């Protein structure tokens, strides 16, 4: 399944950093998410400790040559390794995309990491819409014990647990993966069987599969490693989180929080356009907005002032 794909390593310089200070990180992206990928990588590189060496492994589902050049220029922020792995779109061509319009085939690529990286035993996987605010060394060195992976509970943990009859349901945007154990259980060999078995029920395909296949084998991580955007108070973002995850339609908010770094990405104009639309939306809501607070109350906002209006349920 993997042998048809060519692995393209842009840089493979030998690191002089001590092995214990090397952190392996993987992303998955197509050309549509390249700007978010670059921004997220920039947050990693500006937040790491000086003695840490980052090795990036990008699962490439259709980045352009220009995208690769732009991403490779992130080395100017801090020395690192950047490796691109070509992934054919045909690998998951017939697989379900779930119900969210924000999902793409690229979400499945993380499931093939054990085969793509046969010489690596452990890796952090990050979605492209995460902002890293501190060193990832503690996360990378987390003892998974006998578990296959580590993850943080999903914001819809309770609802999704009931749907899948699980005790717990985890978000797949930040994962600490034991690739060695995944290879030993031959997970990728059986992956298509799992997809075929559950495809009619998959709402968030890669995430659902991870939760189904590894139930009782997932180590619960501290929420600070995947603080999902719906939990972030827009009026007070000073949380103790180390990774903020801006899920669903929160990309403008993501750019807003990581705004100082967009100049380091070579995607300044595309990111500024998305950010400006977000600011315009927030401004319009500050000027005038009417929304329902609950069954008996509406909130009218005029020039930042809020008026509460009682109404019939």
pLDDT, tens digit (0-9, with 9 covering 90-100), for 257-284: 899 999 999 999 999 999 898 888 887 7
Give the strand pairing for 22-29 and 53-60. parallel
Quote the percentage of the chain above a pLDDT of 90: 52
Q: Are residues 174 and 300 in the same domain?
A: no
Q: Are residues 176 and 284 in the same domain?
A: no
Mean pLDDT of the chain: 84
Q: Which H or E run includes 37?
A: helix 34-47
Residue given tokens 């995309």 in the structure block: 97
Question: Is 23 among the domain residues?
Answer: yes
Q: Are residues 162 and 203 in the same domain?
A: yes
Residues 20-45, mean pLDDT to the nearest whole number: 94
Please, which residues bridge with residue 132 across strands?
243
Give the pLDDT confidence of 215-273 residue by residue, as tens digits: 889 999 999 999 987 654 444 444 689 999 998 667 888 898 899 999 999 999 999 99
User: Is the pLDDT confidence value at 100 over 70?
Assistant: no
Q: Are residues 241 and 279 in the same domain?
A: no
Question: Is 1 among the domain residues?
Answer: no
Give CA–CA dist 230/295, Å, rounded: 22
Q: Can you give the pLDDT at residue 16? A: 44
Residues 20-41, mean pLDDT to the nearest whole number: 94
Q: Are residues 79 and 131 in the same domain?
A: yes
Supply the pTM of this predicted model: 0.83
Q: Are residues 203 and 292 in the same domain?
A: no
Q: Can you give the pLDDT at residue 227? A: 92
Beta-carbon count within 10 A of 18 CB: 10
Question: Is 255 among the domain residues?
Answer: yes
Q: Are residues 150 and 260 in the same domain?
A: yes
Q: Are residues 167 and 288 in the same domain?
A: no
Contact of 200 with 99, CB cutoff 8 Å? no
**Could you say which DSSP state residue 143 is in?**
-
Q: What is the CATH number of the domain that holds 75?
A: 3.90.550.10
Give CA–CA dist 62/40, Å, rounded: 18
Residue 127: domain span: 7-266
**Number of structural domains the chain divides into:** 2
Question: Is 211 among the domain residues?
Answer: yes
User: Is the pLDDT confidence value at 12 over 60?
Assistant: no
Q: Are residues 297 and 194 in the same domain?
A: no
Give CA–CA dist 223/171, Å, rounded: 11
Give CA–CA dist 280/274, Å, rounded: 10
Give the pLDDT confidence of 147-164 residue by residue, as tens digits: 999 999 999 999 999 999
Q: Are residues 31 and 141 in the same domain?
A: yes
Question: Is 104 among the domain residues?
Answer: yes
Beta-carbon count within 10 A of 180 CB: 12
Q: Are residues 129 and 146 in the same domain?
A: yes
Question: Is 68 among the domain residues?
Answer: yes
Token couple for 163 = 């749907």
């Amino acid at each position: 399944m993997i042998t048809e794909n060519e692995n393209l390593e842009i840089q493979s310089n030998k690191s002089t950093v001590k092995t214990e200070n090397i952190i392996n990180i993987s992303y998955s992206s197509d050309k549509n998410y390249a700007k978010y990928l670059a921004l997220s990588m920039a947050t990693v590189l500006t937040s790491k400790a000086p003695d840490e060496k980052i090795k990036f492994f990008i699962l490439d589902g259709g980045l352009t040559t220009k995208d690769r050049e732009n991403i490779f220029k992130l080395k100017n922020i801090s020395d690192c390794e950047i490796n691109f792995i070509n992934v054919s779109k045909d690998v998951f061509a017939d697989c379900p995309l779930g119900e969210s319009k924000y999902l793409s085939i690229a979400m499945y690529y993380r499931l093939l990491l054990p085969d793509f990286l046969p010489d690596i035993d452990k890796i952090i996987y990050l979605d492209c819409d995460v902002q890293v605010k501190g060193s990832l060394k503690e996360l990378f060195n987390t003892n998974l014990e006998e578990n296959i992976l580590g993850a943080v509970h999903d914001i819809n943990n309770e609802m999704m647990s009931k749907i899948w009859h699980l005790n717990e349901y985890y978000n797949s945007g930040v994962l600490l993966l034991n690739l060695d154990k995944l290879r030993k259980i031959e997970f990728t060999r059986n992956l298509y069987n799992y997809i075929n078995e559950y495809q009619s029920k998959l709402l968030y395909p890669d995430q659902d599969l991870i939760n189904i296949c590894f139930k009782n084998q997932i180590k619960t991580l501290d929420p600070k490693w995947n603080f999902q955007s719906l939990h972030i108070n827009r009026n007070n973002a000073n949380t103790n989180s180390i990774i903020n995850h801006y899920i669903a339609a929160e990309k403008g908010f993501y750019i807003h929080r990581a705004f100082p770094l967009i100049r380091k990405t070579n995607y300044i104009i595309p990111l500024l356009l998305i950010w400006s639309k977000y600011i315009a939306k927030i401004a319009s809501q500050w000027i005038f907005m009417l929304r329902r607070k609950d069954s008996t109350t509406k909130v009218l906002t005029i020039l930042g002032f809020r008026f509460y209006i009682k109404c019939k349920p």
